[in-house]
């Protein structure tokens, strides 16, 4: 953990060498999601509600997912751009250092400009919380934080999975973007509005549902009886993450036995 | 200390003909060719040795180094280094080695060198005192004083290489792998790097394994060379032994007035036993003569009777040519 902070600090100092570009990118990241949000708003403006979901409720969903995406893109960027690490041979360098590969790949890159996106979704979240009719309790607060954290972990898990593919293909696979960007686009609405199989896939395979509409039901007090169960669904993100780490280890072993 | 036994390693390489059509075809089906990168390599290196590991491009040098660093796993064979098998005990093993890839940097590009060093200290968990001691020593011997506060991207290649070497020694490794440490450096910087490698070998007893294409590096540093070609171990021996084996050879450089054409010059070169033409153009020829078989004056006499000689210089054979003739001998 301390080492991760060291990585953070050294990369932050590097980033600060390029201040203008940092501010420009961060500003861009700040405004980008507004276009999507505007789209959602127009939709609601026209139809009023979608399957019983009001705009502020969807906005919570939107904010949580975008925050999670921003945080995980900021921290797990190393995995997102992992193919360049393999192609340039930098990964060899990591292997001759006595620390875990996960930690070192994480530490190879942070994308600080995502702070812009984070700020934007925070504003949306605050607005949405103020306008949605939710009776806040401590547990609900915890659930909300848990949703964001768990979402971050799910995105990080997908980044790791796609990075692992590089051990076999060397080049990065855009396929994984279906899951990251696609997942982000999908999960900014409550999943309930989609077809059954989509809901199932994104609940049991890649558990966006666990950070999305299941806990949201609890926040809005729409659960019938099993409140606590719904409150804890974000932990599903962890369940997804562990096999990702496992697959990564297999990948590393494979790399060492073939690549040059 | 370092022991490799019967190490073999092969790679599968995708093969396809050039051109768009075949590139398209390769999208769906590919042919693979197996390249034998290493074939039954065995050697032992004692603590404190400096070994020059040489061979032409693609001979398998880097592969061997990567295996010894634990990055690659060989197909077969054993490798024990300081009691560890590199690819099995990676984390605990790499603590004891320093690795420098001359073509790649291990420093963080945009921050002062000092910051990178501190980062490496944390990665290797070097105790503060030990770190300070080794940093002081390195700063002194490599003359890094003025460089430590400069961002890496503003350093010249020579300055950077000195910092790279320091970086790979901060954690006091017992073995240092240097992959082309002097590539692209000017004569001065090369000198400095060689000097330093000798110093740490003598003072800290660091075992050094060095791959290079610059035979002057070998001449200045290595007591022993190991040569591989096409994945096979060809020569393993003391440099002095090699020298005496090829010591009877002299190189003669002859400058002459240009004859009418290159072909006439070629025709005019005498064919004597034990004489080999290394290079030749309109005004200069370089010959390699085995003095045990042909007398030098005989060669000179023969040349001057055909060509108008301007200048002649005779040198004992530099290591470069010894290696070159070794490559030729093994048909590399």
* Digit-coded pLDDT (tens) for A135-165: 888 888 888 999 999 999 999 999 998 888 8
Q: Pick left, alpha or beta for residue B101 (phi over 0 → left; psi -120 to 50 → alpha; otherwise beta).
A: beta
Tokens linked to A27: 């500003």
* Digit-coded pLDDT (tens) for B254-303: 888 876 666 665 666 667 777 878 887 778 888 888 777 778 888 888 87
Beta strands at B249-256 and B284-290: parallel, antiparallel or unpaired: antiparallel
Does the CB of B271 have a partner CB in chain A at under 8 Å? no
Can you give the C-alpha Rg of chain B in angstroms? 24
Gap from B246 CA to chain A (nearest CA, Å) = 36
β partners of residue B279: B286
Residue B225 belongs to what H/E stretch?
A: strand B224-229
What does the alpha-carbon distance between residue B278 and residue B298 come to, in Å, rounded to a whole number?
Answer: 18
Among B99, B90, B89, B141, CA closest to B120: B99
Contacts of residue B69 in chain A, CB cutoff 8 Å?
A: 92, 95-96
pLDDT score for A149: 92
Q: Which residue of A has its CA nearest to B116?
A: A10
pLDDT score for B252: 84
Q: Which residue of A has its CA nearest to B99?
A: A96
* Digit-coded pLDDT (tens) for B70-126: 888 888 999 999 988 988 888 889 999 999 987 888 888 888 999 999 999 999 999
Q: How sure is the predictor about B44, in pLDDT bands with cuts at 50, 70 and 90?
A: very high
What does the alpha-carbon distance between residue B273 and residue B287 come to, in Å, rounded to a whole number?
Answer: 12
Substitution target from B11, B37, B62, B71 for chain A, most A beta carbons within 10 A: B71
A180, A159 Cβ separation under 8 angstroms = yes
pTM for the whole structure: 0.80
Beta strands in B46-117 (DSSP E): 50-54, 76-81, 97-101
Q: Which residue of A has its CA nearest to B113?
A: A10
pLDDT score for A125: 92
Does the CB of B36 have a partner CB in chain A at under 8 Å? no
Does the CB of B126 have a partner CB in chain A at under 8 Å? no
First to last CA, chain A: 31
DSSP string covering B237-287: EEHHHHHHHHTTEEEEEEEE---S-HHHHHHHS---TTEEEEEE-SSEEEE
Does the CB of B123 have a partner CB in chain A at under 8 Å? yes
* CB atoms A100 and B91 under 8 Å: yes
Distance, CA of A113 to chain centre = 15
Gap from A162 CA to chain B (nearest CA, Å) = 20
Burial of residue B240 (CB within 10 Å: 0-12, 13-18, 19+) is exposed
Tokens linked to A134: 């939710």
CA-CA-CA-CA dihedral for A167, A172, A177, A181, to nearest 10: 110
> Is it the case that residue A107 has pLDDT exceeding 80?
yes
Gap from B11 CA to chain A (nearest CA, Å) = 7
B288, B314 Cβ separation under 8 angstroms = no
* Digit-coded pLDDT (tens) for B6-22: 999 888 776 666 677 77
B22 versus A4: the higher-pLDDT residue is A4
Q: Which residue of B has its CA nearest to A14?
A: B110
Distance, CA of B91 to chain centre = 27
Tokens linked to A153: 């972990």
Tokens linked to B203: 């003072």
| Sequence-separated (6 or more) residues with CB below 8 Å from residue A23 | none
* CB atoms A98 and B72 under 8 Å: no
- Residue B177 has what DSSP assignment? E
> Is it the case that residue B147 has pLDDT exceeding 80?
yes
Burial of residue B11 (CB within 10 Å: 0-12, 13-18, 19+) is middle
Partner-chain residue, chosen from A10, A18, A256, that has the shortest CB–CB distance to B108 = A10
Instruction: Give the max Cα distance, chain A.
Output: 59
Gap from B318 CA to chain A (nearest CA, Å) = 33
Residue B227 belongs to what H/E stretch?
A: strand B224-229
* CB atoms B108 and A14 under 8 Å: yes
Among A89, A97, A94, CA closest to A105: A94
Partner-chain residue, chosen from B12, B63, B95, that has the shortest CB–CB distance to A98 = B95
Q: Would you tell me how many other CB atoms lie within 10 Å of the CB of residue B53?
A: 27
Q: How sure is the predictor about A259, in pLDDT bands with cuts at 50, 70 and 90?
A: very low
DSSP string covering B115-182: HHHHHHHHHHT--HHHHHHHHHHHHHHHT-TTTTTSBGGGS-HHHHHHHHHHHHHTT--SEEEEESTT
> Is it the case that residue A172 has pLDDT exceeding 60?
no
Provide mean pLDDT across the span A21-36. 87
What does the alpha-carbon distance between residue A23 and residue B287 come to, in Å, rounded to a whole number?
Answer: 65
Instruction: Give the max Cα distance, chain B.
Output: 73
**What is the domain partition of chain A in residue ranges?**
20-254
pLDDT score for A193: 82
Gap from A16 CA to chain B (nearest CA, Å) = 9
Does the CB of B289 have a partner CB in chain A at under 8 Å? no
Query: What domains can be seen in chain B, in order of their start residue?
Result: 2-6+42-244 (3.40.50.300), 248-316 (3.30.70.250)
């Amino acid at each position: 953990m301390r080492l991760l902070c060291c990585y953070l600090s050294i990369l932050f100092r590097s980033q600060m060498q390029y201040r203008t570009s940092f501010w420009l990118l961060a500003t861009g990241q700040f405004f980008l999601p507004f276009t999507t949000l505007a789209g959602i708003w127009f939709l609601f403006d026209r139809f009023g509600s979608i399957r019983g979901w009001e705009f502020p409720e969807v906005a919570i969903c939107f904010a949580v997912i975008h925050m999670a995406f921003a945080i995980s893109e900021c921290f797990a960027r190393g995995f997102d751009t992992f193919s360049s690490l393999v192609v340039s041979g930098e990964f060899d360098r990591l292997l001759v250092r006595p620390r875990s590969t996960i930690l070192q790949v994480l530490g190879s890159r942070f994308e600080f400009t995502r702070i812009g996106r984070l700020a934007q979704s925070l504003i949306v979240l605050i607005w949405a919380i103020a306008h949605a009719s939710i009776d806040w309790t401590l547990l609900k607060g915890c659930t909300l934080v848990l949703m964001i954290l768990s979402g971050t972990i799910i995105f990080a898990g997908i980044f790791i999975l796609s990075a692992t593919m590089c051990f076999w293909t060397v080049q990065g696979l855009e396929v994984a973007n279906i899951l990251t960007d696609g997942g982000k686009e999908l999960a900014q609405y409550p999943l309930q509005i989609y077809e059954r199989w989509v809901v199932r896939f994104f609940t049991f395979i890649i558990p966006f549902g666990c950070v999305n509409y299941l806990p949201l039901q609890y926040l809005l007090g729409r659960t019938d009886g099993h409140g606590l169960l719904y409150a804890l669904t974000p932990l599903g993100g962890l369940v997804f993450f562990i096999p990702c780490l496992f697959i990564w280890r297999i990948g590393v072993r494979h790399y060492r036995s073939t690549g040059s | 200390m370092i022991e490799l036994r019967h190490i073999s390693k092969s790679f599968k390489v995708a093969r396809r003909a050039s051109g768009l059509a075949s590139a398209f075809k390769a999208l769906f089906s590919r042919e693979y060719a197996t390249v034998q990168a290493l074939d039954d390599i065995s050697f032992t290196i004692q603590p404190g040795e400096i070994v020059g590991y040489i061979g032409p491009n693609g001979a398998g040098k880097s592969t061997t180094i990567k295996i010894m660093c634990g990055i690659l796993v060989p197909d077969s064979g054993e490798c024990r280094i300081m009691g560890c098998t590199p690819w099995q005990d990676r984390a605990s093993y790499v603590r004891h080695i320093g690795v420098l890839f001359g073509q790649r940097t291990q420093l963080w590009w945009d921050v002062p060198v000092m910051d990178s060093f501190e980062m490496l200290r944390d990665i290797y968990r070097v105790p503060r005192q030990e770190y300070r001691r080794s940093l002081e020593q390195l700063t002194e011997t490599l003359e890094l004083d003025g460089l430590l506060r400069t961002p890496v991207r503003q350093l010249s290649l020579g300055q950077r290489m000195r910092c790279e070497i320091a970086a790979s020694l901060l954690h006091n490794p017992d073995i240092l792998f240097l992959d082309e440490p002097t590539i692209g450096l000017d004569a001065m910087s090369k000198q400095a790097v060689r000097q330093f490698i000798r110093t740490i070998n003598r003072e800290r007893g660091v075992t050094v394994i060095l791959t290079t294409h610059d035979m002057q590096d070998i001449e200045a540093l290595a007591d022993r060379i190991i040569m591989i070609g096409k994945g096979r171990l060809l020569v393993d021996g003391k440099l002095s032994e090699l020298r005496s084996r090829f010591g009877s050879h002299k190189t003669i450089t002859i400058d002459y007035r240009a004859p009418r054409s290159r072909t006439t010059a070629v025709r005019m070169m005498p064919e004597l036993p034990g004489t080999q033409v290394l290079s030749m153009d309109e005004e200069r020829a370089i010959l390699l003569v085995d003095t045990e078989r042909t007398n030098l004056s005989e060669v000179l006499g023969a040349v001057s009777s055909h060509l108008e000689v301007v200048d002649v210089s005779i040198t004992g054979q530099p290591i470069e040519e010894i290696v070159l003739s070794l490559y030729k001998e093994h048909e590399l």
